[in-house]
A = this chain, B = another copy of it.
């Protein structure tokens, strides 16, 4: 068994196929400006991250969860003095995020075009169902995917369910994504292949030391298009 036996390739979406994290960071900068009268930007960002982590189990991933955490953090940081027009500005930041155009990363359609028909292509993404479906439609990439899986989490059991659903053995499955924690580690542990393509920024929650990853089923590539070199 080896790379030549792979049947299904799953792609993460946010920051693997299209830009995402920088939209969150941009929104965070706007938010820090709204909150500037209560706390310096560094403190605001730190509090926001803590509130997001506290709410993770209850809210999960995605823009709506982010918006609710922004509002909660504003109450906290202002010691309940935040003004209604500031809450309004925060809601407007979130609504703009939900309406953004999708910006594909370099060479994405070309890569999918080349793999299409040779492999079952799967999109395996975390986040909010409605928002991910909307982005996929806007992206024009829907036609390449055999199966779309929006997951509440990306741990071993979630991938195990996905493999069962796809009816594919781990050693014939490859996951491609920008997060070592979510896209690589659980798949390697299950016996599958994983390709890490670092994005220029990583959300603190997803950070991990790449040296922890040691497996002959693990590859690190500079950009998504290099994936083709693995199959040549």
Contacts and interface: CB of A to CB of B under 8 A. Distances in A.
Contacts of A71: 71, 87, 91
Nearest to A80: B84
A33 interface: no
Interface stretch (A56-64, A110-118, A219-227): A56-64
B91 A68 contact: yes
A200 to B, nearest CB: 28
A72 B71 CA distance: 11
A95 interface: yes
B58 A98 contact: yes
Given A98-B58, A129-B150, A130-B152, A87 B75 contact: yes
A21 interface: no
A167 interface: no
Contacts of A129: 60, 128-129, 150, 152
Contact of A64 (B65, B75, B152): B65
B64 A59 contact: yes
Contact of A82 (B65, B84, B94, B130): B84
Nearest to A91: B72
A75 B82 CA distance: 13
A205 interface: no
A148 B64 CA distance: 23
A87 to B, nearest CB: 6
A24 to B, nearest CB: 16
A78 B85 CA distance: 12
Contacts of A211: none
Interface string A141-154: 00000000010100
Nearest to A56: B130
A81 B80 contact: no
A129 B75 CA distance: 27
A206 interface: no
Given A60-B128, A128-B128, 7 more contacts: A59-B64, A60-B130, A68-B68, A82-B84, A82-B87, A87-B87, A129-B129
